[in-house]
Amino acid sequence: MISNFTTKQLTEMIYELLEALEYEIVLSNPTTESKFPAVVINTPLESTSKRYNTEILQKRFQVSIECWNDKKYDVMEMMEEISQILIKYNFIKTNTTPDIFDEVTQKYRMIMTFEVKYDGLNNSFI
């Protein structure tokens, strides 16, 4: 049977994996009232890689994850911790943005982009 893994399921999975780090995890940008350090999981992009008739055999997901904290070095450390968790699930880091200082929250922010392929036949990440 062919499985259909969705962006919602991927977001929930990443959320659960990152909970072990004990950072505040949110799905939208933090505000001045938010708890820090914070991790933002942006909505993944999804594309179909392989199909057979109407069945999707393989998908590719791309997700951006933001780290927010008081200091640049702390943000870098957070990024490394997240990378180490996601690598275990075959995620590949494809991009990292330079750090940005957010004037409203007075925090540093860095964004990483990860990609992973999903195989619907084996219900696994490849």
pLDDT tens figures, 64-93: 999 999 999 999 999 999 999 999 999 999
Sign of CA dihedral 79, 66, 95, 42: positive
Predicted confidence at residue 5, as pLDDT, reads 86
The residue to which tokens 């990609």 are assigned: 115
Full pLDDT tens readout for the chain, 126 residues: 567 889 999 999 999 999 999 999 999 999 888 999 999 999 999 998 888 888 888 999 999 999 999 999 999 999 999 999 999 999 999 999 998 999 999 999 999 999 999 998 888 898
Predicted confidence at residue 52, as pLDDT, reads 83
Task: Report yes or no on whether pTM surpasses 0.85.
Answer: yes
Cα–Cα distance, 108 to 39 (Å, whole number): 12
Report the 10 Å Cβ neighbour count for 45: 13
Cα–Cα distance, 102 to 70 (Å, whole number): 10
Predicted confidence at residue 1, as pLDDT, reads 59
Report the 10 Å Cβ neighbour count for 67: 25
